[in-house]
Structure 1
Amino acid sequence: MPDAIAEKLHRWLEWTVQAGASDLHVVAGHAPVMRLHGDLTELPEAPIASDEIETLLLSACPEDALKRLQANKNADFSFECPVAGKVSRFRATLFLAGGDTGGCFRVIPDTIPDLAWAGFPADLAAKLVALRDGLVIVTGATGSGKSTTLAMVVNRLNKTGGYRIITVEEPVEYQFPREPNSVVTQREVGADVLSFADGLKYGLRQDPDVILVGEIRDRETAQMALSAAETGHLVFSTLHTRDAKGAITRFPDLFPSDAQPAVRSQLAMSLRAIVSQRLLPSINKTEKRHLALEVMWNTHPIASAIRTGKIESIDNYILTGREEGMYTCDESVRLLLRAGKITRAVAEQNVRDVKFLNH
């Protein structure tokens, strides 16, 4: 925990937590802004001056993160501070823009949410935790709840017992509770290990059953994740792509072109499922956003499409794969619209074909 967070920043973090917002943005020249149910709302404060913002933000920054900020112009870290009589946790990203330091603070819930609260299907979670090995990828834009989904699914394994679980995160967000007959080790990139790839490499020497990799963002991490999945481990990770098809394209693109056929072959064998998600604003602006999902399971036809690079056929296999538990984001959006949870305008913005909503 930082020694003494600046009074102003502490006050803004308190307001953010008490409002139930997800993020606080602190940028020079703007009043502090929080994101509440997907919308940006200014706090009743004056715009932040360039000559004070660095002092404010660095008051929350631990020494190791400060060194990363100075070296890389960016730093991710987590920290705790007291809010309304209890300790709250935050994920922080500090960055430079126009010569000024800026910051974004994500509120981390003190407990891992349950599936019903998040709107994540219990039957889908049950299928994911029943997997014995292989790679599961969760995709979606920043802020779409990927970390929450991974935490909920992995915590089900944790509660079941009998699993050695290793996580490699940047930074550590949800903290897994101690459960009988389970051992969880959470390592933070930058603080406990140098990179995601190193976390995976050394994690494989710690007798894991389940590995959670916060994000696959480079070739080394992608290769280690594939190798771990191939050798009998269940690996969960995220990619920043719009949908399942995008994830299948993005993964081999992390490698040189001459290596991509071999990588597609490995992915076709090791991949188990891709879950792509979005958070859509509620019809009631005071309520939390609703989860829309696309679910793809790696069936034989999909594995063949991955291996041969015929990615354009993936969407059709998802459409026709309902018996295997697959469905498109369009179908998920249509269900939310019919249930009266989102507006027609939001639904139309999030489907490929507006006519589909009328079927």
Structure 2
Amino acid sequence: MEKNTEQPISDHDKATHYLYELVMKLLKLEGSDLFITAGSAPAFRVAGEIHRVSNYRLSPQQTALLVRSIMNDHQALMFDRHHDVNFSLNFPDLARFRVSAFIQRGSSGMVLRLIQQHIPTIQELNLPPVLKDISLHERGLIIFLGGTGCGKTTSIASMLDYRNSQRREHIITIEDPIEFFHSHKQSLVDQREVGVDTESYETALKNALRQAPNVIMVGEVRDRETMQHVINYAETGHLCLTTLHANNTDQAFDRMINFFPDERREQLLMDLSFNMKALISQRLLPRRDQAGLIPAVEILQSTPLMADLIFKGRIKEIKSVMARSDEQGIVTFDQALFNLYEAGSISYETAIRYADSVNDLRLRIKLESKHVPRDLSDESHFEIEEEKSDNSWLKKPATLYRRANKRK
């Protein structure tokens, strides 16, 4: 990175100008993130690596000015109260960012992540084509699962965009913050950002049904109240899409059930059995055939058998039933990994590393694959079964996923 001789950041206007210059440099370098932290020079993430802009170290007073310079009154109040706040920042005709402001070592800091203006299509993201059909359900609940940075926000945006291009409806999104701007295509799309367009998630969720929607997208289910709202939307004849932090189908059901007290869980399972249309889990894997990442997607679609298992609380049986199912559009992670390996998109080592069941996937590759590794019989080649729980995929940046596919 080039060295700069920055001017002192002594007031609000200078802080705003300084931040604008940093954003311009980030965009010129095709970076994805801007880091502001006390005791360090500003830093960019470019092609997955952190680079400091210069040798100019920001003081705690300067980082505080930079952080405050882009907040409105509500955001500043939330920051003072909780020492954390997330919001979006728009530079007109330039770029839009997702901002996470925080306190570290008693000083203000923040990370600005570039929000892609282009919404990738389902095909561009290498997602299963069946997601197009899932996105066109008349009613019900669709939940995307995955950890931070796994690309689930991008994937759900692509599904909404597809429906937007196919149906003449009213779509409402409730997000914290807004990550993709949806244009009005066949549908009318209203996007509400918590802290900017509405006071809170709870306020927006309570009023959503009064705004005559066909489709409601809720950014994330974080608590019992939000979970109850998304179920209510599905029960009242709407299609609701949302996300949940969970690694797989089993964890998703555990999280949803644990939102509620014991006496409510039977009712919850009944509601889910009637209204759940799909659980979609996603992990991003390093590609073998080109630079970037590719998603491995597990899909659980509602069938009479799946609904019955959910209704009876036999959650632990779902994964094995999925593995044996010949229903179109039901895919386990290990099946998705096998398909990606067969297509040459990922290496054998990657497939084994991310497998839910290392032994099962290894055996299937040995018996069914057209590309059986020569040393497959060498047991030292494989990780032990316990290593299957490696969750390093959670740390993969979704931005690389979006940028890599955008260049295709």
Deviation of 1:335 (Å): 2.9
Distance 1:152 1:68, change over 3 A: same
Q: TM-score, normalised by structure 1?
A: 0.89
CA contact (8 A) 2:43 2:53 kept: no
Q: TM-score, normalised by structure 2?
A: 0.79
Q: Deviations over 1:61-81 (max 9, x none)?
A: 333322211122111111122
Distance 1:138 1:157 in 2: 16
CA contact (8 A) 1:5 1:60 kept: no
Corresponding residue of 1:186: 191
Distance 2:136 2:199 in 1: 31
Distance 2:145 2:314 in 1: 20
5 Å-filtered alignment, 1:64-83, equals 64-81=74-91
Task: Tell me if 1:95 matches 2:102.
Answer: yes
Task: Tell me if 1:143 matches 2:153.
Answer: no
Corresponding residue of 1:210: 215
Corresponding residue of 2:304: 300
Task: Tell me if 1:113 matches 2:120.
Answer: yes
Match of residue 229, structure 2, among 224, 232, 246: 224
Distance 1:242 1:17, change over 3 A: farther
Distance 2:13 2:326 in 1: 53
Task: Tell me if 1:312 matches 2:316.
Answer: yes
Moved more, 20-29 or 140-149: 20-29
Distance 1:54 1:336, change over 3 A: farther
Task: Tell me if 1:159 matches 2:159.
Answer: no
Task: Tell me if 1:235 matches 2:235.
Answer: no
Distance 1:25 1:117 in 2: 29
Aligned-pair RMSD on alpha carbons? 2.4
Distance 1:344 1:63, change over 3 A: farther
* Stretches of 4+ aligned residues off by more than 6 angstroms: none
CA contact (8 A) 1:138 1:274 kept: yes
Distance 1:284 1:65 in 2: 44
Distance 1:342 1:52, change over 3 A: farther
Deviation of 1:167 (Å): 0.7
* Letter in structure 2 aligned against 1:350: Y
Deviation of 1:17 (Å): 3.5
Deviation of 1:115 (Å): 2.0
Match of residue 42, structure 1, among 51, 55, 62: 51
**3-state secondary structure, aligned to 1:185:** strand
Distance 2:32 2:262 in 1: 39
Distance 1:8 1:305 in 2: 57
Match of residue 175, structure 1, among 181, 188, 204: 181
Distance 2:13 2:324 in 1: 56
Distance 1:207 1:126, change over 3 A: same
Deviation of 1:218 (Å): 1.1
Corresponding residue of 1:328: 332
* Letter in structure 2 aligned against 1:66: A
Deviation of 1:135 (Å): 0.2
Deviation of 1:11 (Å): 4.2
Distance 1:51 1:124 in 2: 52
Distance 1:186 1:253, change over 3 A: same
* Letter in structure 2 aligned against 1:116: Q
**3-state secondary structure, aligned to 2:124:** helix
Q: Deviations over 1:283-323 (max 9, x none)?
A: 478x3321111111122222222222222111112212242
Deviation of 1:9 (Å): 3.6
Distance 1:5 1:339, change over 3 A: farther
Please identify the structure whose Cα radius of gyration is greater. Answer: 2
Moved more, 218-227 or 7-16: 7-16
What residue ranges of structure 1 are gaps of 5+ in the alignment? none
Distance 1:135 1:7, change over 3 A: same
CA contact (8 A) 2:122 2:132 kept: no
Deviation of 1:114 (Å): 1.7
Deviation of 1:19 (Å): 4.2
Moved more, 289-298 or 189-198: 189-198
Corresponding residue of 1:252: 257
Distance 1:4 1:294 in 2: 49
Distance 1:35 1:330 in 2: 32
Identity of aligned residues (%): 31
Distance 1:187 1:49 in 2: 35
CA contact (8 A) 1:200 1:224 kept: yes
Q: Deviations over 1:118-147 (max 9, x none)?
A: 1122x2222112311000000111111111
Corresponding residue of 2:405: none
Corresponding residue of 2:73: 63
CA contact (8 A) 1:31 1:42 kept: no
Match of residue 350, structure 1, among 346, 351, 354: 354
**3-state secondary structure, aligned to 1:118:** coil
Distance 1:142 1:283, change over 3 A: same
Deviation of 1:7 (Å): 4.7
Deviation of 1:257 (Å): 2.0
Distance 2:100 2:246 in 1: 21
CA contact (8 A) 2:121 2:162 kept: no
